[in-house]
Structure 1
């Protein structure tokens, strides 16, 4: 009989190791994988658009879903595309391709395909050949064109192609909370699934290409806790999140709240803007809880494990339904070809 894995088995209980890993990932946001200004200009009619980019992300999701690969591979691919197009070019070839991709939808699409092709090789246990990728693209591009674009992309990025994803950062944040609270496995599963869902939505949105991955991740976790929890749970877990914000070099509260509002808009597009953050976990109103937690942990810079280290105990089951992550099949993408200004392969 096959045993079902508990959701928390995907989280680490070694808080010291998680803290070190999170610090390292956030350090890379300021060094190897710096966040640059946006590369699209909505007032320039000759440029590709954020909607073009979103359609290509949807297509990439369709490919990895069809091949039963991880959607994080798409996040890694788009991070490479965004960084390549926004950073100063390190060669004449990279500068030429960057300029062409920003004004030629076909080149922008080829760049994205090459990034996905490369990301699969880096992040997955299996690799798809360039010839197979050409078949997936219905021969819109040859295997040689995909390989040539991949070389230009990697050279332009100085072969830095393993940036942390928002989902990875989000799991680290949840791992740091894990020893503090004792809540049902179904609750942890819901928190993890919803965080994954929101970080996948963020990949589609050009706005988040200009934000740090840690900002996207923290905003997603805050929103999930706010949307799925009781008032007591919001206050308790929210207080831990506020402590984590102060212990690590996250963006300020204003930046995190802006990201939270944007994620809310993506997840609930029919919600009025003035209602989006109603009943939110305020990032400024938790000082009393923060001071209480700090005092209880004054002897250690990391959360202590064990029942004594839990500040809250709950055994009630969560009565919320699971939300299924969005997916787009290759057939769905193909059916939209005629309605899209961007040529899909």
Structure 2
């Protein structure tokens, strides 16, 4: 007779198989989409936008996984436009804001108003700009399927931890989520599958916080339950890149401002909800101006540089 833990593992295995099948059907992270978009977009623009998105979703109290959805939409849209025309900085900013707006609508609370979003931008961007770009995104991309995030996979992968690591499951999961948050900001890592980033984030966390031998055991457990290959060239490249980013982040965190940010409470990640499809007609409704804006323009303008809040995994 199956024990409760065995049932949970079987359910988790079924869940991760379904997610991997959906990821494969959408050709997510095959390297082609984002490689094309990266040729026409300054990587500094992209990093700046990702950090800005984290600031906005923290203020709105949205799940931080919403930023991954926004950047996924943005990268795919830029890739689709790359073969047709270039994109200047202003157009990229409009596309970024629109992608975040759509991400909150389809994978977040859905409570973000266009007027509030515009208050967080610099002057010169209008609701009409968001409307036109939103229409173009909806007509260009298929947003009818759930956009899987690394955090969805991390939640399922946590169920495949060996017994020796179960006591540290919560700490390891938080660490993996933090590494995945950093990966969202990186142009190179955006070209890899969410499942691969999630797996490597978990492995790197185990190696850093426990031991390499335990990370190897975890990798073998995952390999038996999924088609993720622990020793593939992709996972090796992600691991090197993620370690480099993390080491740089640790060096930067020595500043007083970064140490103060480490006092921020941990924000839990949740699974992405079932997709809510946004239509062009919806955009017309969302564009209506509302009162009660939460922030003034200067606080969240993309003109400014922001550092991502370190919400988890502290030394």
TM-score by length of 2: 0.72
Change in CA separation of 1:241 and 1:111 when aligned onto 2, cut-off 3 Å: same
Change in 2 beyond 3 A, CA 1:68/1:39:
same
Q: Does 1:26 align with 2:20?
A: yes
Distance (Å, rounded) in 2 between the aligned partners of 1:65 and 1:156:
29
Alignment partner, residue 170 of structure 2:
189
* 1:69 aligned residue (45, 62, 65): 62
In structure 1, the gaps of 5 or more residues are: 1-10, 90-94, 272-321, 341-345
1:216 and 2:197 are equivalent in the alignment? yes
In structure 2, the partner of 1:256 is 235
Unaligned stretches of 5+ residues in structure 2: 251-261, 268-294, 307-315
Deviation at 1:158, TM superposition (A): 2.2
Q: Deviations over 1:89-145 (max 9, x none)?
A: 4xxxxx48x745x43111111111111001101122242121221122244321222
Equivalents in 2 of 1:160, 1:12: separation in Å?
34
Q: 2:118 aligns with which of 134, 141, 147?
A: 134
1:51-89 deviation line (CA, Å, top 9, x unaligned)? 111011111111111212111001011111122233xx4
Aligned partners of 2:43, 2:6: CA distance in 1, in Å?
36
| 1:269 to 2:263 alignment | no
Match of 1:313 in 2: none
In the TM superposition, what is the alpha-carbon distance from 1:202 to its structure 2 partner? Answer: 0.3
CA distance in 2 between counterparts of 1:333 and 1:268 reads 27
Aligned counterpart in structure 1 of residue 106 of structure 2, from 72, 97, 122:
122
Q: In 2, are the aligned partners of 1:166 and 1:199 still within 8 Å (CA)?
A: yes
Counterparts of residues 1-345 of structure 1 (less than 5 Å): 14-35=8-29, 36-37=31-32, 38-40=35-37, 47-86=40-79, 89=80, 95=81, 99-100=84-85, 102-160=86-144, 162-177=146-161, 180-181=163-164, 183-184=166-167, 187-229=168-210, 231=211, 234-251=212-229, 252-269=231-248, 334=301, 337=303
Distance 1:332 1:195 in 2: 30
Q: What is the Cα deviation at residue 32 of structure 1? A: 2.1
Structure whose alpha-carbon radius of gyration is higher: 1
* Bigger helix share: 2
Alignment check: 8 A CA contact 1:77 1:115 kept = yes
Q: More relative contact order in 1 or in 2 (CA 8 Å, sep 6+)? A: 2
CA distance in 2, matches of 1:30, 1:324: 36
Q: Is the 8 Å Cα contact of residues 120 and 299 (structure 2) preserved in structure 1?
A: no
Distance 1:12 1:126 in 2: 36
